[in-house]
Chain A
């Protein structure tokens, strides 16, 4: 009970510095420091936030962005896990894929946007594609690393007990790599947000990125801040959900740490 209270107190302390900063910001703007058209007070942003929620505009943008992320993420991540495992298990796969990853991973994925617009058009597909490409790389690299560093004893046991290639793949290597794969999945999620917002700046008529960019063009700085805050909130929510899933799926990892 005492420990619980201590944890709760510590959590409250975490809120202290962000809230303090917002209060200082509000006081400074109210006192006339800075031009309110360019630097709105937190209260202005909150008011605009509320308006955009009530009008349903914000929900539309959030929905558009999340839909693009969801589809692109799945399309990118599923083959990444499979290819990562195949690379660890088969030399040929490694020899074919490794140089491609080395060459393509460092390219900023947003730089591919013009190409993707050509290939997939101005609709959702081009944004989904850039998310898929962005999410693919961290997952393939992490899965491969995890799968090739499985403790040798697990491979020995599986072989000694007559595991076929399929069993080795689906019951041993996949699970052995899972903690690393999850680390990759989490990085991939963050990258998905980054690339989708950047893509929406220039190549969309909806989405949080579009909200930020169009508000900036119309000099509606408070609406721009609403977009930025929204991304932060979505990031916190999704990574919390993610951690819960991870705890359910990899119970042995939490124990080891």
Chain B
């Protein structure tokens, strides 16, 4: 199945971020060079504290880099990016419907069009029956579905996802991963997906970027060539999957140990 159009192309050049704290400076990211193809599903894997979230926040415009540049080419798209956070970040004072329509409301999309699009998005993630519910009345999985719908409904050229399923139980995670892959295959958007789970990177990604512990650098980029559509449970039983998982684990292992030593030393 060929997607209807391709999402944003992203070029990152020698990007760096240094945090100034009361106890001196901390280099979070150093010399990040990365080119992300239009319509690619890119997963970034790294130990906690490696700056992968910071990278995503910089790309999403929530923080500024201290060195280097990046460009998001999204010609022909009205909305450049939308982000899905680990904690859904649905506003507790808005109904599911209002939450999903938020990014359209802020951009002045006319009410009738907004309703149509929100309707379709709710259907897509199975929340139509819960439109009038408030987030505190939903389960964690449903809240995360709402957050995904809120991002997809704005039709962004690139979707930034920061460990969106990390807080979910295993069953819900698999279901939502499959839904996400289906949505991605249908829409052809670029996705940059942060995770600390190797399996997740292999289930979802076209490539897996492995980052080093602080300061975060790119250690290795591995292509993930399993054909689409992927069936996560079948895939995880295959020999190639196990082999690739082991390779990534070896690349990550040193970094995880290093991150631990840093934390213990701090």
- The reply to whether the CB of A251 lies closer than 8 angstroms to some CB of chain B is yes
- The reply to whether the CB of A252 lies closer than 8 angstroms to some CB of chain B is yes
Q: Which residues of B lie under 8 Å from residue A120 when comparing CB positions?
A: none
Q: Which residues of B lie under 8 Å from residue A167 when comparing CB positions?
A: 105-106
Which of B81, B89, B102, B136 is the one whose CB lies under 8 Å from A256? B136
Provide the bound-state CA to CA distance between A172 and B98, in Å.
Answer: 13
Which of A160, A164, A175, A251 is the one whose CB lies under 8 Å from B91? A175
- The reply to whether the CB of A178 lies closer than 8 angstroms to some CB of chain B is yes
- The reply to whether the CB of B154 lies closer than 8 angstroms to some CB of chain A is yes
- The reply to whether the CB of A14 lies closer than 8 angstroms to some CB of chain B is no
Bits for B149-162, please: 1 = Cβ < 8 Å to A, else 0: 01000100000000
Q: A175-B93, A252-B134 are in contact. Are A160 and B106 (CB under 8 A)?
A: no
Provide the bound-state CA to CA distance between A161 and B101, in Å.
Answer: 10
Which of B82, B105, B134, B154 is the one whose CB lies under 8 Å from A251? B134
Q: A153-B89, A154-B91, A175-B93 are in contact. Are A255 and B136 (CB under 8 A)?
A: yes
**Are A162 and B107 neighbours in the complex by a CB distance under 8 Å?**
yes
**Are A160 and B136 neighbours in the complex by a CB distance under 8 Å?**
no
- The reply to whether the CB of A204 lies closer than 8 angstroms to some CB of chain B is no
Q: Which residues of B lie under 8 Å from residue A171 when comparing CB positions?
A: 91, 94
Which of A156, A162, A175 is the one whose CB lies under 8 Å from B106? A162
Provide the bound-state CA to CA distance between A154 and B87, in Å.
Answer: 10
Q: Which of A157, A162, A175 has the most CB of B within 10 A?
A: A157
Q: A252-B134, A256-B136 are in contact. Are A159 and B62 (CB under 8 A)?
A: yes
- The reply to whether the CB of A82 lies closer than 8 angstroms to some CB of chain B is no
**Are A153 and B103 neighbours in the complex by a CB distance under 8 Å?**
no
Bits for B75-113, please: 1 = Cβ < 8 Å to A, else 0: 000010111010101011110000000110111000000
Q: Which residues of A lie under 8 Å from residue B106 when comparing CB positions?
A: 158, 161-164, 167
Interface size on B, residues (CB 8 A): 26
Provide the bound-state CA to CA distance between A175 and B178, in Å.
Answer: 35
- Secondary structure dominating the interface of A: helix
Shortest C-beta distance, A172 to chain B (Å), equals 7
**Are B136 and A156 neighbours in the complex by a CB distance under 8 Å?**
no
Interface size on A, residues (CB 8 A): 22
- The reply to whether the CB of B61 lies closer than 8 angstroms to some CB of chain A is yes
Q: Which residues of B lie under 8 Å from residue A172 when comparing CB positions?
A: 91
Q: A153-B85, A157-B85, A252-B135 are in contact. Are A162 and B93 (CB under 8 A)?
A: no
**Are B87 and A160 neighbours in the complex by a CB distance under 8 Å?**
no
Q: Which residue of B lies closest to A256 (CB)?
A: B136
Q: Which residues of A lie under 8 Å from residue B137 when comparing CB positions?
A: 255
**Are B134 and A162 neighbours in the complex by a CB distance under 8 Å?**
no
Provide the bound-state CA to CA distance between A161 and B152, in Å.
Answer: 11
Shortest C-beta distance, A167 to chain B (Å), equals 5
Bits for A100-133, please: 1 = Cβ < 8 Å to B, else 0: 0000000000000000000000000000000000
User: Which parts of A25-40 form the interface with B (CB within 8 Å)?
Assistant: none
Provide the bound-state CA to CA distance between A160 and B87, in Å.
Answer: 15
Provide the bound-state CA to CA distance between A167 and B62, in Å.
Answer: 17
Which of B93, B134, B154 is the one whose CB lies under 8 Å from A161? B154
**Are B107 and A160 neighbours in the complex by a CB distance under 8 Å?**
no
Q: Which residues of B lie under 8 Å from residue A252 when comparing CB positions?
A: 92-93, 134-136
**Are B87 and A161 neighbours in the complex by a CB distance under 8 Å?**
no
Q: Which residues of A lie under 8 Å from residue B251 when comparing CB positions?
A: none
Shortest C-beta distance, A218 to chain B (Å), equals 53
Q: A153-B87, A154-B91, A175-B93 are in contact. Are A161 and B82 (CB under 8 A)?
A: yes
Which of B83, B94, B105, B134 is the one whose CB lies under 8 Å from A160? B83
Besides the contacts A156-B89, A171-B94, A252-B136, what 4 more A-B pairs have beta carbons closer than 8 Å?
A161-B150, A164-B106, A175-B91, A250-B93
What 8 pairs between A and B have smallest CB-CB spacing?
A161-B103, A252-B92, A175-B93, A255-B136, A157-B89, A153-B89, A162-B106, A160-B83
Please, could you name 10 A-B residue pairs with CB atoms under 8 Å apart, sorted by A? Answer: A156-B62, A156-B85, A160-B83, A161-B150, A162-B79, A162-B103, A162-B107, A171-B91, A175-B91, A250-B93
Q: List A residues at the B interface (Cβ < 8 Å).
A: 153-154, 156-164, 167, 171-172, 175-176, 178, 250-252, 255-256
